[in-house]
């Protein structure tokens, strides 16, 4: 049996070890839980045309998606949101998460500004610091005006400029820029310019970057190629696509003669890209498939949501003076 002095030394050693362990634990940098981003084109209704979606139905689907653990997301990027539906979708995100949210919507949007961008964040996790729209950068256009004489649309911004938000993750104080997009569909030249602009902007913008939304890049599963906009944005490798595995068609475009047949099978329009430090966040994405989602009908969206997961690194310890 050890002596009293030996027992005393053992107790002191264990106490010191405990103090050191507690001190070491306290000095460990904070590492946040992974966060998710959900991007979805909810398909707005064009003014003067028959309805193609019902915001109340889609809002209910948002509540279900965000209420389920497998598809819960703390950052939500929606495109084709009509201004009158902004609060419908904001409330749906808050209800699905069961949390307070903050939001920001773009000012530009095609079809008489009827399909704007909307970003909603969980306020417990993220803070919106500032935002801007990229109408033009480095001399490269990201939008244009209607200049048809006599048109009631003359002077309006025709397409959707990318919306940039600077976000702060509260637990780690990590700041990054999120680019919400819905690039031009019918205007191929503008879409390519938008891709070029986003590349030039990323090269000139330090810090972690994430871009998400409907890029309309027509990336084909068989040829593994996109259109000119995809090539323009990804040239040189500054932007990295978080390619879903498996690849799943993210958009339904019914054939005019046979609505049950997709005109563009095995292609993807919706993407999540990362640049700079965000490339090391172990990001991955997947296309969310729900029973009966395709083909869509006059109440549901013609796009599937994209869900991306990220792991934020712990912050660097402060340097001693």
Please report the pLDDT score of residue 153 as a whole number.
52
- Of the two residues 47 and 40, the one the predictor is more confident about is 40
Distance (Å, rounded) from C-alpha 147 to C-alpha 186?
17
What domains does the chain contain, in order, with CATH numbers? 32-310 (3.60.10.10)
What pTM value is reported for the model? 0.86
- Percent of the chain surpassing pLDDT 70: 83
Please report the pLDDT score of residue 41 as a whole number.
97
Contact (CB, 8 A) for 188 and 154: no
Distance (Å, rounded) from C-alpha 115 to C-alpha 184?
12
- Percent of the chain surpassing pLDDT 90: 70
Indicate whether 177 pLDDT > 90. yes
Within the chain, where are the H helices?
Answer: 4-27, 55-67, 86-97, 110-113, 188-204, 228-234
Please report the pLDDT score of residue 320 as a whole number.
64
Within 28-54, where are the H helices?
Answer: none
* pLDDT tens readout for residues 256-312: 777 778 888 889 999 999 999 999 999 999 999 999 999 999 999 999 999 999 999
* pLDDT tens readout for residues 71-121: 999 999 999 999 899 999 999 999 999 999 999 999 877 655 668 999 999
Please report the pLDDT score of residue 208 as a whole number.
98
């Amino acid at each position: 049996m050890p002596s009293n002095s030996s027992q005393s030394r053992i107790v002191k050693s264990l106490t010191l070890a405990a103090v050191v362990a507690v001190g070491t634990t306290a000095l460990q940098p904070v590492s946040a839980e992974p966060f998710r981003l959900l991007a979805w084109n909810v398909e707005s209704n064009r003014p003067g045309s028959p309805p193609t979606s019902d915001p109340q139905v889609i809002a209910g689907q948002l509540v279900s998606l965000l209420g389920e653990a497998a598809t819960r997301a703390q950052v939500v990027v929606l495109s084709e949101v009509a201004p009158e539906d902004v609060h419908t979708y904001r409330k749906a995100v808050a209800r699905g998460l069961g949390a307070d949210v903050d939001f920001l919507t773009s000012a530009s949007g095609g079809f008489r500004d009827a399909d704007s961008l909307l970003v909603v964040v969980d306020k417990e996790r993220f803070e919106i610091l500032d935002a801007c729209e990229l109408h033009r950068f480095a001399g490269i256009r990201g939008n244009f005006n209607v200049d048809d004489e006599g048109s009631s649309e003359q002077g309006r911004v025709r397409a959707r400029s990318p919306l940039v938000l600077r976000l702060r993750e509260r637990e780690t104080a990590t700041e990054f820029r999120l680019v919400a997009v819905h690039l031009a569909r019918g205007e191929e030249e503008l879409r390519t310019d938008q891709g070029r602009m986003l590349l030039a902007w990323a090269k000139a913008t330090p810090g972690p970057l994430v871009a998400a939304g409907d890029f309309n890049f027509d990336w084909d599963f068989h040829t593994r190629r996109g259109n000119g906009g995809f090539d323009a944005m990804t040239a040189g490798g500054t932007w990295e696509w978080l390619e879903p595995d498996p690849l799943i068609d993210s958009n339904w475009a019914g054939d005019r003669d046979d609505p049950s047949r997709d005109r563009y099978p095995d292609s993807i329009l919706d993407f999540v890209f990362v640049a700079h430090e965000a490339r090391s966040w172990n990001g991955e994405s997947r296309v969310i498939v729900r029973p009966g989602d395709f083909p869509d009908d006059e109440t549901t969206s013609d796009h599937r949501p994209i869900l991306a997961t990220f792991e934020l690194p712990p912050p660097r310890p402060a340097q001693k003076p």
